[in-house]
Chain A
Amino acid sequence: MAEMDTSGGGHHKKGPGVKKAKKLSTRVDLTPMVDLGFLLITFFIFTTTMSQATAMRLSLPADTKDPNQQNKLNENSALTILLGKDNNVFFYEGQLDPKATNFKASNFKDIRDEIIRKKRNTDTTFMVIIKPNDECTYKNVIDILDEMSINVVERYALVDITSDEDKLVRITEGSYVPGK
């Protein structure tokens, strides 16, 4: 395969005195070339990004000042998720009671179980309210919105955090500065 026919036909008559050249093998060792080939392949495989950026859709509700037009929500079927700094997640079910006894801390791993549990125990009016505070990152918001699509939550809303809730989050995180 890797050799060439170098016999040159073999029909020439060599004169007397013409020495027959020693036939050198033309067989080339291709192993280093294969090595090089595969090295480059590995390089290109690792540098190629096959994945294209995807897009996540978000539809916002139009702002309505008229409270009659705003969506009413069944208090008991709501799960409110609060996002704090350093990937902290807090949640409460229904309405936050004055002593905040139903205010619980969680994290991004465990919140899925909470969403699933609440979803199983609630009828179709189940709704998740997401309230990020000023310390949480864009990634946190996307992660929690992603969690909504992972758990097929049909109804969810991104709502501004109230100052009481923000205070509660900050106190729990130990970063509450009074008067802020």
Chain B
Amino acid sequence: MARPKIPRKSTSVDMTAMCDVAFLLLSFFILTTKFKPSEAVPINPPNSVASKVAPENDIVMISLNKDEKVFLSTGDSKLDKDTKEQILNSLNSSKGLGLTPDEIQKLKRAPFLGAPLAQLKQQAMLSTDQMTAENLPGIPCKDSANNQLIDWMRAVNDAYQGRKANILLKGDNVAKYPSFKNIITAFKKNDFLKFQMVTNPESVPEGTDLWKSPRKKEE
């Protein structure tokens, strides 16, 4: 009995379709990736279950890095940058810092402000690349007698006259509590009683009250 001949089929698969899919996905990921701009002040924030995305406009961010240096920054929009100029102008006049308009412009472009009031002139002389956490001394607020963040927050209050400022606090995991407390004190002294802390998202543990409750959207 002769077996019917099974025609031998080629095992090579047409890869074109797969190639198309691969490159489609590739272009999607390339286009959606937003590379993190290298931060002048790197900070590892803790995790929390908070689900609200941090605001990006009208912000005043206080950063507390791992060496417990405190920095102040604003948002990247033009309005925020202008507000920063107002903050600097207000500090300049109230504290008699003697900053020239040119120096104020330079500080306005700086990503972070982190120097004692008396040394702001020196910070203005640095180039933007040099303004890193290592080079800047930070805003002094360790000592409650010389908590200059209070002055900064007062200037913020002046600049945001009538508008609502989103006060953000971004602290590093390993920063100690006293620095955090001093920052809160500076907020309190200027009646900034509501603020937000920047964290990384984390899922809610199963079985807890928050998990059981119908996930209410935070207002």
Contact = CB atoms under 8 A, between A and B. Distances in A.
Contacts, number: 173
A173 interface: no
Nearest to A62: B193
A51 B176 contact: no
A4 interface: no
Interface stretch (A5-13, A52-60, A72-80): A52-60
Interface in B5-58: 12, 14-19, 22-23, 25-26, 29-30, 32-34, 36, 45-55
Nearest to A57: B196
Given A58-B197, A137-B177, A48 B210 contact: no
A146 interface: yes
Contact of B15 (A31, A45, A56): A31
B187 interface: yes
With a 10 A CB-CB cut-off, give which of A30, A51, A55, A119 has the most chain B CB atoms: A55
B193 A150 contact: no
Interface in A116-135: 116, 119, 132-135
A146 B49 contact: yes
26 contacts: A33-B22, A34-B15, A34-B18, A41-B22, A41-B29, A44-B26, A48-B29, A48-B32, A51-B201, A53-B198, A54-B53, A54-B54, A55-B54, A55-B198, A57-B50, A57-B194, A58-B194, A60-B188, A62-B193, A116-B209, A138-B64, A138-B176, A143-B46, A145-B48, A146-B48, A151-B209
Interface of A: 1-2, 29-31, 33-34, 37-38, 40-41, 44-45, 47-49, 51-63, 83, 112, 116, 119, 132-143, 145-146, 149-152, 158, 160
